[in-house]
Amino acid sequence: MTIIIERICDHGDYFEIQPDRARNAITCFGRLGGHVVGFIANNSAVASGQIDVDAAFKIARFVRFCSIYNTPVVFIEDTTGFLPGRDQESRGIVQAGRAMLDAIIDIRTPRILLILRNAFGGAYAAFNSYATGADPHLPRSLALTAPWARDDTSFTEAFANLDHHFSDNWRLKANATLLNQDMPEFTQASYFGPINSATGLLTGPLSAIEDPLTNKQSMLDATLTGSFDWLGQKQEVMIGGDYQHRISRSNLLEPNSSGPAIDPFAFDPQLYPAPDSSQVQGGLGLNILKKTIQWGVYGAVRFRPIESLSLLAGGRRSDYRSNENLNITYSGQLLQNSTSGYNDSGKFTPYAGITYDLSAHYTLYASYADIYHTNNGVLTKDFKQLPPSDGVNMETGIKGSWYRNTLNASLALFKIDQSGVATSDPTVPSSPTCCYVTQSQKSKGFETEVTGTLLPNWQVTAGYTYDDHRNASAYYVAELPKSLFKLWTNYRLPIADERWSVGGGVRAQSANHVTQCVAFAVNGCAGFVMRPGSRRRAIGKW
């Protein structure tokens, strides 16, 4: 994507805005024929260019800025749509998408749309109105939907907690949760596509999507903690386990749509009758049933041979199994019926630690932990499942505490080495389960932090981190900022029973560098770019 921008701009120069934030969207300024132009592009090398919450707000702010200063905008589109998922929904992807749409609708400067590869879903509709990207000046009250579009969703949750003390030293805690999401009715009326500049019409009628779904989860966890005296010291033990079972079913149907081509300048929803789900002739159906079971047992022991020394050892055994059944129909005829499964069994992740009290004020510590993360059975472009990622995390340091714990400081050395982390394969179009490659993540450095109470109501925290961090795959290499400084303070005001407080902070970091593949050959990457700080340059060929 950056190569394209360089080829468009005068002399190949441009200035990127917020390069380290929401890297799946690129916002920058360049010159065309000597005139300043704003560029908004999807970065398909990061999350396949899908628009998430951060990217939507980043685009919205940039569009507003261009509109205020009467700067033309060039949209370069290569995206599969808005990023789905529970995390995005909880963070407010609907509100973020609306902010981006409002900004694009309000823009009154010239704009051009360039579609490179992918242009799907709501992101396609958001980035353009006419095929040329020109503004049709539609009223803000226009909604291309119908009265029969609706959804009915209910959530039911039941839970139980058990907290039992066997004695002063032994305690059992257990939690059980049942969660049921039921959406018996979900019918969406929508249209994606540009306005024909010659006719002023869209290319078809309203389309309908019916997608009722159910999602059931059962979760159980229990932990037993206790202590006993041995060798004149207090020894501690913890054992536990957890279990999660999830069943989700989705029945997506796209029935035939009827009615004339949409006239967005004189839209009449009464022209588009409600779809008849029983008439599947010509309609596409997608039925997905997925079952996931996760469970694990864990334990840890804290052994104190002497008062000033503590030894910690523990581990977790994890199992993950999933099974997915997919049926695809068209015109009532079965096109595909497939079942896929994924299994990570018997994965053991140990961890260990040691602490030693040098004095009443200083403590030395060290820790080691294995890293395990399931890749959920995602596929490579050769349709092979990726195994889980693993690695190690090591840390050692010293902590200090003074003046009755009102002043605390720490210094830590760390090293993290993880491999097999799934990341999108930019050489093929993306889908929910395909296609992915693996990348490695390596990090080492040190961190120091000081936290103290300068006055009874005034707290200050300052810290510095040096992190030699590197993410690398066959198509993407990122080196994150090596230096990070942060300073935070908070003061509780002596008014209204000290219920008011003011605070602030500053965060400064060094530049980061990104190298990514932007052109592909049969045997791999044909060209790549490096981005140091806020600049991007083509530097060679693989």
Verify cis geometry, omega within 30 degrees of 0, for the bond prior to 435: yes
User: At the topology level of CATH, where does 2-127 sit?
Assistant: 2-enoyl-CoA Hydratase; Chain A, domain 1 (3.90.226)
pLDDT tens string 384-432: 888 888 999 999 999 999 998 899 999 999 999 999 888 877 677 655 5
Task: State the pairing for strand pair 35-42/73-79.
Answer: parallel
CA-angle at 118, arms to 136 and 127, nearest 5°: 25
Least confident of 66-75, 247-256, 527-536: 527-536
**Is the pLDDT higher at 524 or at 25?**
25
pLDDT tens string 346-375: 899 999 999 999 999 999 999 999 998 888
pLDDT tens string 159-200: 999 999 999 999 999 999 999 989 888 788 877 677 776 678
**Is the pLDDT higher at 234 or at 514?**
234
Question: Is it the case that residue 103 has pLDDT exceeding 60?
Answer: yes
Q: What is the pLDDT of residue 299?
A: 96
State what percent of residues in the chain have pLDDT above 90.
36
Average pLDDT, the chain: 83
Q: What is the pLDDT of residue 534?
A: 34
Q: What is the pLDDT of residue 410?
A: 96
Which runs of E-coded beta strand occur in 403-523? 407-424, 436-455, 458-472, 476-479, 483-492, 501-509, 513-521
Question: Is it the case that residue 264 has pLDDT exceeding 80?
Answer: yes
pLDDT tens string 492-516: 998 888 889 999 999 898 877 666 5
Q: For 232-251, what is the mean pLDDT?
A: 94
Q: Are 287 and 250 in contact (CB under 8 A)?
A: yes
Check residue 123 and give left, alpha or beta (phi > 0: left; psi -120 to 50: alpha).
alpha
Q: Which of 38-52, 63-77, 354-368 has the highest mean pLDDT?
A: 354-368
**Is the pLDDT higher at 273 or at 229?**
229
- In 3-state terms, what secondary structure has residue 516? strand
Superfamily of domain 153-357: TonB-dependent receptor, beta-barrel domain (2.40.170.20)
Two domains, one topology: 2-127 and 153-357: no
| Angstrom distance (rounded) from CA 9 to CA 36 | 10
Q: What is the pLDDT of residue 465?
A: 95
Question: Is it the case that residue 106 has pLDDT exceeding 80?
Answer: no
Domain boundaries, the chain: 2-127, 153-357, 360-510
Q: What is the pLDDT of residue 197?
A: 66
Least confident of 36-50, 53-67, 271-285, 370-384: 271-285
Q: What is the pLDDT of residue 530?
A: 42
pLDDT tens string 306-329: 999 999 999 999 999 999 888 887
Q: Across the chain, which distance is largest between two alpha carbons, in Å?
A: 90
**Is the pLDDT higher at 202 or at 520?**
202
| Angstrom distance (rounded) from CA 497 to CA 155 | 40
Q: For 208-229, what is the mean pLDDT?
A: 91
Question: Is it the case that residue 531 has pLDDT exceeding 50?
Answer: no
Question: Is it the case that residue 236 has pLDDT exceeding 90?
Answer: yes
Q: How far is CA 386 from CA 107, 190, 223, 383, 504, in A?
A: 44, 36, 32, 9, 44
pLDDT tens string 423-464: 877 677 655 557 788 889 899 999 999 999 988 899 999 999
pLDDT tens string 110-129: 878 787 877 766 666 566 55
Q: How far apart are the first and last CA of the chain?
A: 17
Which of 504, 469, 478, 472 has its CA nearest to residue 490? 504
**Is the pLDDT higher at 15 or at 48?**
15
Q: At residue 462, what is the residue type? A: A
